[in-house]
Amino acid sequence: MYDMKALYQARDVADAVSLRLAHPEAQIIAGGSDVLVQMREGKRAGKELISIYGLDELRGVKMEEDGTIRIGSLASFSHITRDPLIQQYLRVLGEAVDQVGGPQIRNIGTIGGNTCNGVTSADSASTLFAYDAVIELTGPEGVRRTPIGDFYLRAGKVDIRPGEIQTGILIAKESYENTFGHYIKYAMRNAMDIATLGTSVNVRLSADRKTVERARVAFGVAGPIPLRAVTAEAAAAGKPVSEELAAQFAQAVKEDINPRDSWRAARDFRMHIAVESARRAFLESVKLAGGEL
């Protein structure tokens, strides 16, 4: 069924790094929801595989001493959605990954695989961008951490160096504290479909809930890689909460996004739904934060 040259099972992270160095052309496999499908289609025929699926130390979600939320790269989408820390501090991420595929895919698919694919349509990516996530990689030189915006290099290409594997995704306390967010996935079908556009917004309001202290908005499929719309973020910062501000915020995203034409949607249509989804996600985030409109 699967045309592979060899399958190597890593015993721990150090062994995975050694296997990567010994077999530089081998493909890392975790849940296999992408790799095995590609193999059945013949796209990875004859490849060597290195399985890291048995590395339990890369699972789970925990809070570090400084308040950083650490998501293990092998945490499944289903686990992330149900995790108490995610529900308390990053509910929008749980809601975003709960829109990946169907239940079977969410049970085996991992957030590490979702980000390492480097595709702009990944449902986790826009929310991770909106929360300034940091990618942790472990390799022959030890642990390296890089902002997610630098991790994505171009369409389908991420910054994983020889011998490295992704071991975690980190979100600092200052990125999520007192923030509330909303994710909107626009797709041709309601389930089991790749995003035509993904929009993730989060806001932090003043103590009296009347002013936007900080706003973040990030998109998937609005460019070759996921991206932040920093012009819109700057337009909202320090402004009184209102529906007019939501409209201004949404219009400003056009300054930073660059969607393309494809068989899924025309560029102009993607631009339209980017503006509308940014407006709706902003309003919902403000409501979640306790703001009145």
- The answer to whether the CB of 164 falls within 8 A of the CB of 146 is no
pLDDT of 188: 82
pLDDT of 41: 67
pLDDT of 162: 96
Residue 134 DSSP code: E
Q: Where in the chain is the domain with CATH 3.30.43.10?
A: 4-51
Q: Give me the architecture of the 60-174 domain, per CATH.
A: 2-Layer Sandwich (3.30)
Cα dihedral: 84, 85, 90, 95 (round 10): -30
Q: Which of 25, 33, 19 minimizes the C-alpha distance to 4? A: 25
CATH code linked to domain 4-51? 3.30.43.10
Q: Where in the chain is the domain with CATH 3.30.465.10?
A: 60-174
Q: Which helix (H) or strand (E) holds 205?
A: strand 197-205
pLDDT of 191: 66
pLDDT of 174: 97
- How far from chain centre, in Å, is Cα 69? 14
Q: What is the pLDDT of residues 270-280, one digit of tens each?
A: 999 999 999 99
Give the 3-state secondary structure of 140-199: CCEEEEEEHHHHEEECCEECCCCCCEEEEEEECHHHHCCCEEEEEEECCCCCCCCCCEEE
Which residues face 147 on adjacent strands?
Answer: 134
Which DSSP string do the residues of 29-51 spell out, in sequence order?
ESS-TTHHHHHHTTTTTTEEEEE
CA–CA separation, 284 vs 101, rounded Å? 24
Q: Give me the architecture of the 177-288 domain, per CATH.
A: 2-Layer Sandwich (3.30)
- The answer to whether the CB of 282 falls within 8 A of the CB of 247 is no
Integer angstrom CA distances of residue 11 from 15, 17, 18, 50, 267: 6, 10, 11, 11, 46
pLDDT per 10-residue tile (average), the chain, 293 residues:
82 97 92 71 78 95 98 97 98 95 87 93 95 98 98 96 97 98 89 87 98 98 96 98 98 96 90 97 98 89
Q: What is the pLDDT of residues 87-107, one digit of tens each?
A: 999 999 999 999 988 888 898
pTM: 0.94
Query: Which sign, positive or negative, has the C-alpha torsion 78, 84, 85, 87?
Result: positive
Which residues face 71 on adjacent strands?
Answer: 61, 169
Q: Where in the chain is the domain with CATH 3.30.390.50?
A: 177-288
